[in-house]
């Protein structure tokens, strides 16, 4: 946790300096992008190990079937209900400030209690290895072209048949990917090109592409224009990475989130995946481990939403108008504590989805007094005896719809959780 504390100081400095730069219009790409059609970006957070849904998102103080932390109590913000407590101040602050943009989804059937299989179900809606995960599908099927479509900083990735959209950028590799120096660390290192020669090569490639594009029409011209745009964006970020603050950031979860949003803002990426730090496979010591780890996440999420609300976007005035934030784990945990004050694996899960395109201030889905998912009406997200059990695939297809895609083209026949989607 010391890494989080150290990096938060530099990050606040970055946010303050970044606001000044952006307010002065120092970075050029957002101005050029004003003519682009709106396209939502997606920032995924994943708590590996299986988070305790009752710790924050799905309180059950009215049931003897769920063991609740005796020091916790029910918190409310707008229409949202969450588990509050003196060790959950970050969550309280986040929900009190951002409830209007946030939907909590409970009672999600994961179809598995195995770590790997459940993660795959949550992220793809199926166990078939050929299916790509939600961020990969969104990135690979964008209306706009992105040099780094889906950047995986940390956490799981299921590329399926669309691996060309996925870029692994964990650790400190993001800038080395962009400036090309990563080639010097491969099994067969490639000599680094000096800056003057590198700039000449960039200009040569750009000019050759522009000359060729001038004589093209139709799809060829579209592809050539996209390549030139991507080259221009990559060269801009390489040349302005210090101005943009990327080199000053560390590698904490919030640092990675800010880097992701800088890539969104510059039109370099559409999606990113980031692991939520902490231990979540709490077969023992569930209390206070889960509450502490989850609350740290919400403290960072609150800072991130401040940043999104004040930073110009790629295709919108501010990032908050085009970035959708998704937070999940592979499954939930049992309603009752075991003999070691732990909770074991449980097939019903909760998610948080917030930001652009989300119908906020909503509790969707429901679990009974034993944390078992109840049937709901997918159009309203509320309990209905004639409804359906909410499968993770229905939440995923709703994310695709928020991203402007037709879910039927990717998971035919899967119903969509329409209640999550804010209609235009």
Both tokens of residue 355? 């930001």
Calpha distance 49→107 (Å, rounded) = 18
Confidence of residue 418 (pLDDT cuts 50, 70, 90): very high
For range 278-302, the mean pLDDT? 97
- Is the pLDDT at 335 greater than 90, yes or no? yes
| Lowest-pLDDT choice from 28-32, 111-115, 353-357, 387-391 | 28-32
- Answer whether 161's CB lies under 8 Å from 132's CB: yes
Q: What is the pLDDT of residue 178?
A: 66
- Is the pLDDT at 172 greater than 90, yes or no? no
Both tokens of residue 298? 């919400």
> Which residue would you say has higher pLDDT here, 198 or 246?
198
For range 233-255, the mean pLDDT? 70
Residue 80's nearest CA partner among 90, 92, 72 is 92
Both tokens of residue 25? 């219009």
Helix, strand and coil in the chain, % to nearest 5: 45, 15, 40
- Answer whether 316's CB lies under 8 Å from 38's CB: yes
- Answer whether 276's CB lies under 8 Å from 50's CB: no
DSSP lists the bridge partners of residue 225 as: none
Handedness of CA 410, 374, 77, 334 (dihedral sign): negative
- Answer whether 152's CB lies under 8 Å from 169's CB: yes
Confidence of residue 223 (pLDDT cuts 50, 70, 90): confident
- pTM of full prediction above 0.95: no
Calpha distance 264→146 (Å, rounded) = 9
Q: What is the pLDDT of residue 381?
A: 98
How far, rounded to the nearest angstrom, does the alpha carbon of residue 98 sit from its chain's CA centroid?
A: 16
Confidence of residue 232 (pLDDT cuts 50, 70, 90): confident
Average pLDDT, the chain: 87
Strands 345-346 and 102-109: what pairing? unpaired
Strands 362-364 and 102-109: what pairing? parallel
Calpha distance 377→393 (Å, rounded) = 15
Which residues, at least 6 apart from 287, have a Cβ–Cβ distance to it below 8 Å? 69, 337, 341
Both tokens of residue 293? 């780890």
Q: What is the largest CA-CA distance in the chain?
A: 73
- Is the pLDDT at 414 greater than 80, yes or no? yes
| Range among 13-27, 129-143, 189-203, 230-244 rated most confident | 129-143
Confidence of residue 245 (pLDDT cuts 50, 70, 90): low
Calpha distance 381→387 (Å, rounded) = 10
């Amino acid at each position: 946790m010391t890494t989080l504390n150290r990096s938060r100081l530099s990050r606040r400095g970055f946010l303050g300096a970044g606001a000044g730069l952006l307010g002065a219009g120092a970075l050029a790409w957002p101005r050029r992008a004003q003519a682009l059609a709106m396209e939502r970006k997606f920032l995924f957070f994943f708590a590996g190990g299986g988070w305790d849904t009752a710790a924050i998102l799905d309180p059950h103080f009215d049931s003897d079937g769920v063991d609740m932390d005796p020091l916790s109590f029910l918190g409310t913000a707008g229409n949202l209900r969450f588990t509050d407590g003196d060790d959950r101040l970050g969550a309280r602050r986040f929900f009190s400030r951002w409830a209007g943009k946030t939907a909590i989804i409970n009672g999600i059937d994961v179809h598995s209690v195995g770590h790997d299989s459940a993660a795959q179900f949550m992220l793809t809606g199926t166990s078939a290895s050929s299916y790509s995960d939600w961020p990969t599908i969104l990135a690979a099927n964008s209306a706009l072209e992105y040099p780094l479509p889906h950047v995986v900083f940390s956490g799981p990735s299921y590329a399926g048949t669309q691996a060309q959209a996925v870029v692994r950028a964990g650790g400190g590799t993001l800038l080395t990917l962009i400036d090309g120096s990563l080639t010097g660390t491969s099994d067969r290192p490639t000599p680094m090109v000096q800056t003057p020669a590198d700039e000449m090569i960039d200009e040569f490639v750009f000019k050759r592409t522009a000359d060729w594009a001038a004589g093209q029409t139709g799809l060829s011209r579209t592809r050539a224009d996209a390549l030139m745009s991507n080259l221009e964006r990559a060269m801009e970020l390489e040349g302005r990475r210090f101005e943009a603050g990327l080199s000053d950031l560390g590698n904490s979860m919030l640092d990675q989130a800010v880097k992701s949003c800088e890539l969104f803002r510059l039109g370099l990426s559409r999606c990113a995946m980031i692991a939520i730090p902490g231990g979540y496979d709490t077969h023992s010591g569930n209390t206070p481990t889960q509450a502490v780890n989850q609350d740290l996440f919400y403290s960072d999420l609150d800072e991130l939403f401040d940043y999104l609300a004040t930073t110009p976007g790629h295709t919108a005035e501010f990032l908050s108008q085009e970035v959708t934030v998704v937070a999940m784990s592979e499954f939930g945990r049992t309603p009752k504590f075991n003999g070691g004050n732990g909770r074991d694996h449980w097939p019903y899960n909760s998610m948080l989805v917030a930001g652009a395109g989300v119908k906020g201030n909503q509790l969707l889905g429901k679990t009974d007094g034993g944390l078992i998912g109840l049937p709901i009406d997918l159009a309203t997200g509320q309990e209905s005896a004639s409804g359906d059990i909410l499968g993770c695939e229905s939440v995923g297809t709703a994310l695709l719809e928020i991203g402007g895609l037709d879910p039927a083209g990717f998971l035919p026949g899967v119903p969509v959780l329409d209640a999550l989607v804010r209609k235009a």
